[in-house]
Structure 1
Amino acid sequence: MLIREASESDLEEFVPLFRSIVEAGETYAYPEGLSEEEIRGLWFERPPGRTTVAVDEAGALLGSAKMGPNRPGRGSHVGTASFMVGADARGRGVGRALAEDMITWHRAQGYDGIQFNAVVETNTTAVRLWQELGFTVLATVPRAFDSRAHGRVGLHVMYLPLDGEDPT
């Protein structure tokens, strides 16, 4: 597997992955039925952000991550990120590889920490991965996500300090 910067040529292969994850209704609150241009605008970051893709040996897209400042201006010292891994690539370490690359990038860019604003509490695979990588659940907003399978469930706010500070 190779993780590299996303390019315009990745959009065509990414769009069906994005749509399938959004339509599954378990991890993202993006609206369904977005156009290719709307998906590009939501996922393909411009500097100071970054979008990456994970591809296999044949060059097939396995997943993607987008990252950058969580907030502009006075909040720009804290980063954030989002991840999508295709159904066929799950359980193969793609999410972990994208996450480790994202953490390395945030450190290299001088961010003080990484904040995830909305990790669906029933997405236990992702929650476990983030905790293994050092993220802490700071709070859970109850019933903030309408899961297709579980109904209204909580959204975790998670944080990883990169400056040695205790997040609690």
Structure 2
Amino acid sequence: MVKNSFSLNKNKNYAGFTLIECLLALFLLSIICLLFSAVIKNAKVVSEVLKSEKEKEWHIFVIQLENELAGCQFKEIQGNKMIYENPKKERNILIEYKLGKIIKVDNGGYQPLLIDVREVDFKKEDDFVVIRAVFKNEQQYSARWSIIKGNEEEV
């Protein structure tokens, strides 16, 4: 009768991980998980900072546009541009949306006022000029100026 027994042959080398190698792998995995969770927590903070940057950029644009158009008279809106007349220099000033930017065109010069814009809508509503802009990150802002005797004031 033959007995079946399991015995380890001490002369054979078995491939496998040692306990130290397993502990080292678990340690590295835990560090990677901790770093990943920290990145996820900070992504929300970074997102909020970027949103506030676009808001600041919009407010700076509105103030700059108000200063650029001080003393100018509103003429009309044609599609994606507003036309103002500068009575002192006897020429038109265009505020135009082109290639993801809101620009000012004055006497052949080109001045970008706002960038990273996906769409802009210029409207004249009663005695107001309304600008609505959507940034590439889907944030929307709007501003309006009242038209009083040819001058604009922000409301």
TM-score by length of 2: 0.20
Q: Which has the larger radius of gyration?
A: 2
Greater per-residue strand proportion: 2
Give TM-score, length-normalised by structure 1. Answer: 0.18
